[in-house]
Structure 1
C-alpha cells in the first residue's frame, strides 16, 4: 500500500465505455453487498447480505428476523455499497467504491422466477441455501438499481444515470476543494 494517495486529476475526458467495463468487473468481484436501510421511523441500519445479479437486478435472500429485511420491505428503498478491500487500496482515502440507489420488490414464493433465482443462489452459495429455502421467515427481494455513483479516486467520480447502469457521466470539479499537494484544483 503506498503511503500517499494520488491526487492527479484526469488530464482529459475519461473513456466512459472503459469506466463502465471497469465498474462492471469491479461489481462482479463481490459475493456480498453492504446495505444502508432506514426504518419508517427514520432509524438507520447498516448491514450486508450475500447477493446475486440477474439481468441487472440484485437479489438478496434475507430473514424477517433481521432489521434490514423489515426496512427493505416497509420502505421499498435501499442504498447498496460495493467497496474495495482496504488491503488492496492504494490508500484508505481513495478506496474504489460503487454506490447504487435501488428500489426494492419482494418476490413471492408462488411467483414465476422465484425458484429459478433460488436455484442460482444454491449453485453459488451451496447447500446452506437448500436449508434456508425451507424456512418461512426468509424472503427473496429484488433490488432494482435506479442510479448510482462510482468513485475511483480524487476527481474520478462518475454518476450512473440510467436503469441499466450503462449511461455514465464524469462528475466535474464542482464543489471540489483543494487537496494538500494537489495542484490540479487551482
Structure 2
C-alpha cells in the first residue's frame, strides 16, 4: 500500500524556469506517448504510439488501420499524455503528468524532412521501422503542442499557455 500523499500548500512563488526545465527532463524520459483522439462522430479513443520529438514537435508514424490514425486525420486534434510509472510514483493520486493539446498535420512522403524523420525513427526504434516504411498504410504525423499542463503533486499544477515560447504559470486554487 502506498504511503499517504502530502497535500502541500502552493509555494508563494515557484521558480517557473526551474519547473519548465523539470518538465522537459520528465518528457525526455519517454519513448511512447499516450493520446486521446476523437472521431468525427464524437466517439473518444485512447491509444499510444512510439514518438520522436524534433524541434518541439512530436512525430508519430502510424497505420491507417488504427482508429486513432483515422481520428487524427479527420479532426487534426489530439491530446497527449506523459505520466509517471505507477511503480515509481509516491502514490497513485500524485503521479507526475504532462499533457499537451496538439494540432495535427500529416507530413507527405515527398515533403522535405520526411525521410530524415523516418531515419531518426529507425535509429531510435530499430529495423522494424525499415519494414514499416515500405507499407503504404503508414502515415507520418506531426503533433504540434499548443498548450498544456504539468502536474507534479497537490497544489503543484502549472499551465503551459504557449508551448512555443515556453510561457508557464502556476495554477492557483480559487477555493473549494
Report the TM range for the smaller structure's normalisation: over 0.9
Matched residue, 2:173: 173
The normalised TM-score by structure 1 is 0.92
Tell me, yes or no, if structure 1 residue 88 matches structure 2 residue 88: yes
Cα distance in 1 for residues equivalent to 2:138 and 2:174: 44
Matched residue, 2:30: 30
Matched residue, 1:182: none
User: Residues 147 and 165 of structure 1 are in contact (CA less than 8 Å); yes or no, is this contact kept in structure 2?
Assistant: no
The normalised TM-score by structure 2 is 0.97
Cα distance in 2 for residues equivalent to 1:73 and 1:100: 18
Deviates more, 1:72-81 or 1:157-166: 157-166
Matched residue, 2:39: 39
User: Residues 102 and 143 of structure 2 are in contact (CA less than 8 Å); yes or no, is this contact kept in structure 1?
Assistant: yes
Change (3 A) 1:165 1:148: farther
Alignment gaps of 5+ in structure 1: 178-186
Change (3 A) 1:87 1:168: same
Query: Structure 1 runs of 4+ off > 4 angstroms?
Result: none
Deviates more, 1:4-13 or 1:90-99: 4-13
Cα distance in 1 for residues equivalent to 2:162 and 2:122: 30
User: Residues 159 and 169 of structure 1 are in contact (CA less than 8 Å); yes or no, is this contact kept in structure 2?
Assistant: yes
Matched residue, 2:111: 111
> Could you say what the CA RMSD is over the residues aligned between the two structures, in angstroms?
1.1
**Partner SS for 2:162:** coil
Cα distance in 2 for residues equivalent to 1:148 and 1:54: 18
Deviates more, 1:85-94 or 1:4-13: 4-13
User: Residues 148 and 163 of structure 2 are in contact (CA less than 8 Å); yes or no, is this contact kept in structure 1?
Assistant: no
Alignment gaps of 5+ in structure 2: none
